[in-house]
Amino acid sequence: MIISIIGGTDGLGKWFARYLKGKGFDVIVTGRDVEKGKKVERELGVKFINDNIEAAKKADIVIIAVPINVTEKVIKEVAPHVRDGCLLMDITSIKEIPTKAMEEYANKNVVIIPTHPMFGPSAPSLFGQVIILTPLERHKNTEWFKKVYNFLKKEGAKIIITTPEKHDRIMAVVQGLTHFSFISLAYTLKELNVDIKESRKYSSPVYELMLSIIARIIGQNPYLYADIQMFNKRIGEIHKTFINCCLELSNVVKNKDREKFVKIMKEAAKHFGSEAKRGVYYSDKAIFALTNELNRLVDMIGEEVAIRNIDSNNVHFGILKGVDGDYLILDKNGKLEKFNVLRVEVFDGEKLKELKKRYLKRIYFDVSVLLKDNVDENTILDLLKSKFDIEIIDVYKGENIEKGWKSVTFRIFGYKKDELREKEKEFIKIIKNIGGKLRY
Amino acid sequence: MIISIIGGTDGLGKWFARYLKGKGFDVIVTGRDVEKGKKVERELGVKFINDNIEAAKKADIVIIAVPINVTEKVIKEVAPHVRDGCLLMDITSIKEIPTKAMEEYANKNVVIIPTHPMFGPSAPSLFGQVIILTPLERHKNTEWFKKVYNFLKKEGAKIIITTPEKHDRIMAVVQGLTHFSFISLAYTLKELNVDIKESRKYSSPVYELMLSIIARIIGQNPYLYADIQMFNKRIGEIHKTFINCCLELSNVVKNKDREKFVKIMKEAAKHFGSEAKRGVYYSDKAIFALTNELNRLVDMIGEEVAIRNIDSNNVHFGILKGVDGDYLILDKNGKLEKFNVLRVEVFDGEKLKELKKRYLKRIYFDVSVLLKDNVDENTILDLLKSKFDIEIIDVYKGENIEKGWKSVTFRIFGYKKDELREKEKEFIKIIKNIGGKLRY
């Protein structure tokens, strides 16, 4: 099956190209920039074509993944060339405009599934991600629809099926109001020339969370965010309502109308109903998790830990020396290294053992032990595993072995010679205490 | 030392009454409502007086803890009666007005430390909490100031010392802008009649976090939030700037001025500088913690767990049957019980063992074993601890014991008879394999 992704050299289009290629599909991508296209071709092992119409003609599935502001234009160009019986999709954050355009310009026998993946290109997979589909009724009983639905289901996506109108109405709030208010807040902090870092010293968890949401939003692709505001017909009303609420509340404050302020707050709380409680719980959990993590780290000071950088995936081993504001200090064999506490995961206990096994070169020594013939060496091994990283590599009876005894050879692993020497002493002591004797 | 808390029958005043009483101080509280005062007197074991002036005269430390809107009036009434050499404080969320009033109305030899505790009455203690002090220069070298500072330090508070002006300027943003924008957002969602629960189905982590911050804020005392807006002189400018930014951004969207939108977003991001990255990391951690927690719970299905309700502190034991949206299903000996996932902590492994030990009735059996005389029974115990909840209760040599051997009595704990019977079999098997024999 051939999938053509129109605008597949960038952003979420490229993400889907990589994902679908990984799932075994033949993927074609198009894009305006030939050089970039060639690079993506090499990087993902897909085919790049510098011609949207040719790509559409060749494919069983055509996915429109261009920026919102040119989506309508590109659909008009491409849709008529999607072959009868094939599937046409888009992955734009708005749904009324592209749905209408695809229905208008595609052939009658093309199945159309307008799609809004509610995630960005940093998502690791479809697992747990929300995907919204807004097909017209006539497409819902098609084989294509079932195929797409089952594929997404299998990948673990949370699928929502609704109409383009309802989608845009809800998104005007979920994305529209959220982005608008936080970009306005960011703009305000800049206009007021607030020193963000300094202000955080005085901060409550709520202020810290607000800053972090602002930071998340202003770090995204600004063109995408502009288009989400500009191409959703329902955004204007949302802006107006929000600004009017701000103006009214500001006037209430100016007039020192305490009772009116209280009424607004109480009525808003009432509108939230049980969701208010849920929200408090949710943020409690988030704040609790962050505080908890910090307490856990402070408790680990002086201990051996593994630090995984969640960007590079590199794992570092050493002794945790300290936690200083946003930074961790790790002692790596006497060399101190700093890590951003918000950018790492820190492990001790079983997980530390597991990571050492995976990333560090293990060394070992073998030791042969005589155990009574009727002893079950696996019961012994099981007990020893609580103390050592240990395996049995040989069990031997017969020649050269005293009658009524057997020879069991254990292999004990470690990471440093000194450490292994200590382990050896401990092992011998234990073995002598549980009825064994050294063979040599 | 006597501490009088003016307005100590409610809110944060009551919180401090309880806290300081717990630290061994003699605490007097005042309040307008005599009945409520009598109740608090009984509840906290403090003294209630229905007369602010009398309370002020009696105390070594007077703390003003009345609502912001009457703070100035109460200071005017009370401050002249604070004795020379004593300490006067307030715990209001604004600092310019109360600092000025205390300086004006208190006697010359009274030390004045205006204070803003950056937490609410749900805080468990002062540990880790931010407390802002805004004393004038002349109070900073006093014994009282040192005492207060050292007390807060010892309790683990994060102390910030600044001027009342700087405090109010920063709070106009940290509290003022934050509260104002989120109350306006809540008001908007109500005016648009958004079905919050339905909208969450379509939601991104950012929208979910926004809702949870709104919920946190609208659930607070609305009078306090009204006063924080109305009694900070610098709030007006903040409102104006925010509303102007909203209006400008809305116009940019209306005019489809893509480049201008991008410019605003980019400049705001630039203003955040490295704090933008930090914010993303911070929210990543929060979101990651929440997702991680859910994945961890799904992995635990079918296992024995302990569920601690973080409101009631009750601990429940059973088999985790499932995770269903916001709820956990626990099988408690065949009886199914539901728990709100946002309101519990779930434990397995070592922590589960620890909680069982603390909350469940342990039963046990004793078993006497013969070990060779030269065997170290503590080495054996150490190995057995990886398998059993076990102690040694007796070691005996001599009469009735074969020469060259000693009797060691182990006690093995469990929670159910069946389980203990299994443990006994396992124990006997292991003991026989490590050179021991049963005494009887």
Tell me, yes or no, whether B145 lies in a domain.
yes
**A175 and chain B in contact, CB less than 8 A:** yes
**A279 and chain B in contact, CB less than 8 A:** yes
For residues B167 and B99, the answer to whether their CB atoms sit within 8 Å is no
Please state whether beta strands A158-161 and A130-133 pair in parallel, antiparallel, or not at all (unpaired). Answer: parallel
Q: Using the 8-state DSSP alphabet, how is residue B416 labeled?
A: S
Q: What is the pLDDT of residue B125?
A: 87
Question: Cα A139 to chain center, whole Å?
Answer: 32
Calpha distance A233→B173 (Å, rounded): 33
Structure tokens at A344: 């790492």
For residues B156 and B128, the answer to whether their CB atoms sit within 8 Å is yes
CA of B425: how far to CAs of A235, A382, B418, B439, in Å? Answer: 71, 16, 11, 15
Residues B129 and B258 grouped into a single domain: no
Calpha distance B175→A114 (Å, rounded): 42
Residue at a domain's end among A272, A306, A332: A272
CB-hemisphere CA count at 13 Å for B146? 3
Residues A25 and A105 grouped into a single domain: yes
* Beta bridge pairs of residue B29: B5, B48
When divided into structural domains, chain B yields a total of 4
Residues B6 and B147 grouped into a single domain: yes
Residues B321 and B416 grouped into a single domain: no
Calpha distance A1→A61 (Å, rounded): 8
CA-based nearest residue in chain B for residue A345: B285
CA of A11: how far to CAs of A14, A17, A67, A122, in Å? Answer: 6, 10, 9, 9
* Beta bridge pairs of residue A222: none
Tell me, yes or no, whether B287 lies in a domain.
no
Residues B86 and B176 grouped into a single domain: no
User: Using the beta-carbon criterion (under 8 Å), do B215 and A384 form an inter-chain contact?
Assistant: no
Tell me, yes or no, whether B283 lies in a domain.
no
Residue A325 reports pLDDT greater than 80: no
User: Using the beta-carbon criterion (under 8 Å), do A186 and B285 form an inter-chain contact?
Assistant: no
Calpha distance B223→B204 (Å, rounded): 32
Calpha distance A181→A177 (Å, rounded): 6
Residues A52 and A145 grouped into a single domain: yes
Q: Using the 8-state DSSP alphabet, how is residue B343 labeled?
A: G
Structure tokens at B8: 């100590």
For residues A69 and A231, the answer to whether their CB atoms sit within 8 Å is yes
Residue A222 reports pLDDT greater than 90: yes
Residue at a domain's end among A114, A138, A162: A162
CA-based nearest residue in chain B for residue A187: B268
Query: Which CATH number does the domain housing residue A408 bear?
Result: 3.30.70.380
- Taking only the tens of pLDDT, chain B with its 440 residues reads 999 999 999 999 999 999 999 999 999 999 999 999 999 999 999 999 999 999 999 999 999 999 999 999 999 999 999 999 999 999 999 999 999 999 999 999 999 999 999 988 878 889 888 999 999 999 999 999 999 999 999 998 999 999 999 999 999 999 999 999 999 999 999 999 999 999 988 877 789 889 999 998 998 899 999 999 999 999 999 999 999 999 999 999 999 999 999 999 999 999 999 888 888 888 877 777 777 777 788 888 999 999 999 888 899 999 999 887 778 999 998 999 999 888 888 999 888 999 999 999 999 999 999 999 999 999 999 999 999 999 999 999 888 888 899 999 999 999 999 999 999 999 999 999 999 998 87
Question: Cα A85 to chain center, whole Å?
Answer: 35
User: Using the beta-carbon criterion (under 8 Å), do B268 and A201 form an inter-chain contact?
Assistant: no
Please state whether beta strands A363-372 and A437-438 pair in parallel, antiparallel, or not at all (unpaired). Answer: antiparallel
Q: What is the pLDDT of residue B109?
A: 96
Q: What is the pLDDT of residue A318?
A: 95
Distance from CA of A112 to the nearest CA of B (A): 21
Residue A133 reports pLDDT greater than 90: yes
Identify the domain containing residue B27 by its residue range: 2-162
Residues A147 and A69 grouped into a single domain: yes
CA-based nearest residue in chain A for residue B118: A204
User: Using the beta-carbon criterion (under 8 Å), do B280 and A219 form an inter-chain contact?
Assistant: yes
- Which residues of A are less than 8 Å from B293 in CB distance? 285, 289
Residues A20 and A136 grouped into a single domain: yes
Tell me, yes or no, whether A19 lies in a domain.
yes
- How many CB atoms neighbour CB A339 within 10 A? 18
* Beta bridge pairs of residue A63: A5, A89
Tell me, yes or no, whether B278 lies in a domain.
no
**B266 and chain A in contact, CB less than 8 A:** yes
Q: Which one of B278, B290, B298 makes the best mutation probe of the A interface by having the most chain A beta carbons within 10 Å?
A: B278
Calpha distance A208→A287 (Å, rounded): 10
> How many percent of chain A have pLDDT more than 90?
80
Residue at a domain's end among B272, B287, B319: B272
Give the number of A-B residue pairs with CB atoms closer than 8 Å.
Answer: 400
Closest to B112 measured CA to CA, from B131, B95, B130: B95
Q: What is the pLDDT of residue A185?
A: 97
Dihedrals φ, ψ of A112, to 5°? -120, 120
User: Using the beta-carbon criterion (under 8 Å), do B387 and A387 form an inter-chain contact?
Assistant: no
For residues B356 and B317, the answer to whether their CB atoms sit within 8 Å is yes
CA-based nearest residue in chain A for residue B388: A383
Tell me, yes or no, whether B262 lies in a domain.
yes
* Beta bridge pairs of residue A232: none
- Which residues of B are less than 8 Å from A159 in CB distance? none
Q: What is the pLDDT of residue B252?
A: 98
Calpha distance A58→A204 (Å, rounded): 57
User: Using the beta-carbon criterion (under 8 Å), do B204 and A118 form an inter-chain contact?
Assistant: yes
Residues A420 and A391 grouped into a single domain: yes
User: Using the beta-carbon criterion (under 8 Å), do A196 and B272 form an inter-chain contact?
Assistant: yes
Calpha distance B378→B361 (Å, rounded): 26
In A406-435, the residues whose Cβ lies within 8 Å of chain B are 429-430, 433-435
Tell me, yes or no, whether A288 lies in a domain.
no
- Which residues of A are less than 8 Å from B406 in CB distance? none
**Banded model confidence at residue A321, pLDDT cuts 50, 70, 90:** very high
Calpha distance B217→B212 (Å, rounded): 9
Calpha distance B439→B84 (Å, rounded): 80
Q: Which one of B260, B271, B274, B426 makes the best mutation probe of the A interface by having the most chain A beta carbons within 10 Å?
A: B271
Q: Using the 8-state DSSP alphabet, how is residue A343 labeled?
A: G
Q: What is the pLDDT of residue A313?
A: 86
Closest to A283 measured CA to CA, from B75, B343, B339, B380: B343
Distance from CA of A385 to the nearest CA of B (A): 9
Please state whether beta strands B87-90 and B61-64 pair in parallel, antiparallel, or not at all (unpaired). Answer: parallel
- DSSP H helices in A155-233: 164-171, 178-191, 196-201, 205-218, 222-230
State the average pLDDT over residues A109-131. Answer: 91
Residues A133 and A7 grouped into a single domain: yes
Residues B337 and B215 grouped into a single domain: no
User: Using the beta-carbon criterion (under 8 Å), do A215 and B283 form an inter-chain contact?
Assistant: yes
Q: What is the pLDDT of residue A399?
A: 84
Per residue in A350-403, pLDDT (tens digit) is 889 999 999 999 999 999 999 999 999 999 999 999 999 999 999 998 888 888
| Average pLDDT along chain A | 93
Residues B57 and B178 grouped into a single domain: no
DSSP calls for A241-301: HHHHHHHHHHHHHHTT-HHHHHHHHHHHHHHHTHHHHHHHHHHHHHHHHHHHHHHHHHHHT
* CA dihedral angle for residue B55, residue B59, residue B65, residue B68, rounded to 10 degrees: 80
Please state whether beta strands A111-117 and A87-90 pair in parallel, antiparallel, or not at all (unpaired). Answer: parallel
Dihedrals φ, ψ of B202, to 5°? -95, 15
Please classify residue B383 by burial: count the beta carbons closer than 10 Å to its beta carbon, then call 0-12 exposed, 13-18 middle and 19+ buried. Answer: buried
Residue A384: CB partners within 8 Å, gap ≥ 6? A390, A410, A427, A430, B383
Closest to B224 measured CA to CA, from B12, B6, B9, B4: B12
Tell me, yes or no, whether A354 lies in a domain.
no
